[in-house]
Amino acid sequence: MIDQYNRDINYLRVSVTDRCNLRCKYCMPKEGLSQIGHNDILRYEEILRVVRAGVRLGISKVRITGGEPLVRRGIVDFIARLKSIPGLADISLTTNGVLLKQFADDLFSAGIQRINISLDSLNKEKYAAITRGGDLNAVLAGIREADRVGFAPIKINTVAIKGFNDDEILTFAARTIDKPYQVRFIELMPLGHVGGDNRSKYLSNDVVTGIIRQVYPLEAVNGQRNNVDGPARLYRIAGGQGVIGFISPVSRHFCHACNRLRLTADGHLRACLLLDEEVDLKGPLRGGCSDAELDDLIRQAIAKKPWGHTMIKEERHLRKCVKEMATIGG
């Protein structure tokens, strides 16, 4: 599927739930989210139908997200059914890792070999603080289990936050020396109702890179631009087994190469993470739409995909993107 800016839209991120077993401070308000009802989220059969339609139109890669996808009942069986769709070349999953130890074997058997784990601190107290009660030991146990089972690559996503984990940047980077992990530093984005506070804690990846280079020599990883690496700029500490990635949606927009759509848990197709314009799929799906009509709705979403976002450069953007990250699917 080629959009109006000649980008090949071949990647669908699927949020299977808006629920999460953590309450990360930069992701949602302290009181949590107004959770949508059970009947308001897409049923697995409906998601599978959307994915099949996407594959007909050129989608080849799907990432399962939430909220936290592992809290939704039946997720492993759903992934196994997703894996059986002809033409779908790649399925991956993003998780906070809290439940990963108990799910790793089954997820791998169901057909997922690549996994992203969100982890913003390696300090137990700080991790509990930013997640409002999360257990760091559970996440680390999940990472070890994923490594044992055979997931590759294991990507650890770390949001760089000024005054919170900027003193742990070297600690995260060092984890790539002896393990083949991909540690990816992601710039904090001013999304949703917590966006204003996020802006004061923003730390550019240029600063993060500079901190690492003061201690470790970094070598650019050749051939990094592919469907697996996405928007990350990849480097390796000399002699290290793993990779360090930098994803910079604020300081280095990569909109020109964006190849993705997002299916929200409540059944809307979103062409840009940072703009709230969406196409409703749930209503037509439950109204008995034909495959041709569903295909046309997906094409409509692609037609609405903008050239880029205006984050940081224009304050008015914060009024355009009022949804929290957990409700969009990240």
Q: What DSSP string runs through 223-240?
A: T--STTTTT-EEEEETT-
186 within a domain of the structure (yes/no): yes
Confidence band for 316, pLDDT divided at 50, 70 and 90:
very low
Bridge partners of 154? 115
CB 69 within 8 A of CB 16: yes
How crowded is residue 226: how many other Cβ atoms within 10 Å of its Cβ? 7
Kind and range of the H or E run holding 172: helix 169-178
Confidence band for 225, pLDDT divided at 50, 70 and 90:
very low
pLDDT of residue 317: 41
Q: What residue numbers bound the domain in which 307 lies?
A: 11-328
* CA-based nearest residue to 317, from 186, 191, 187, 161: 191
199 within a domain of the structure (yes/no): yes
Supply the DSSP symbol for 43: P
306 within a domain of the structure (yes/no): yes
Separation of first and last alpha carbons in the chain: 22
CATH of the domain at 165: 3.20.20.70
pLDDT of residue 24: 87
How crowded is residue 184: how many other Cβ atoms within 10 Å of its Cβ? 24
In this predicted structure, the answer to whether residue 314 has a pLDDT above a threshold of 80 is no
Quote the longest CA-to-CA distance of the chain: 60
Question: Has this prediction a pTM greater than 0.75?
Answer: yes
What integer is the mean pLDDT of 156-167?
A: 96
Kind and range of the H or E run holding 36: none
3 within a domain of the structure (yes/no): no
91 within a domain of the structure (yes/no): yes
4 within a domain of the structure (yes/no): no
- In whole angstroms, give the CA distance from residue 56 to residue 86: 10
Please count the structural domains in the chain: 1
pLDDT tens readout for residues 191-217:
654 445 667 889 999 999 999 999 999
pLDDT of residue 236: 97
- 154 three-class SS: strand
219 within a domain of the structure (yes/no): yes
Residue 110 main-chain phi, psi, to 5 deg: -75, -15
For residues 265 and 27, the model is more confident at 265
Sign of CA dihedral 90, 96, 97, 99: negative
CB 67 within 8 A of CB 265: yes
5 within a domain of the structure (yes/no): no
From residue 121, alpha-carbon distances to 93, 207, 211, 246 in Å are 20, 18, 17, 17
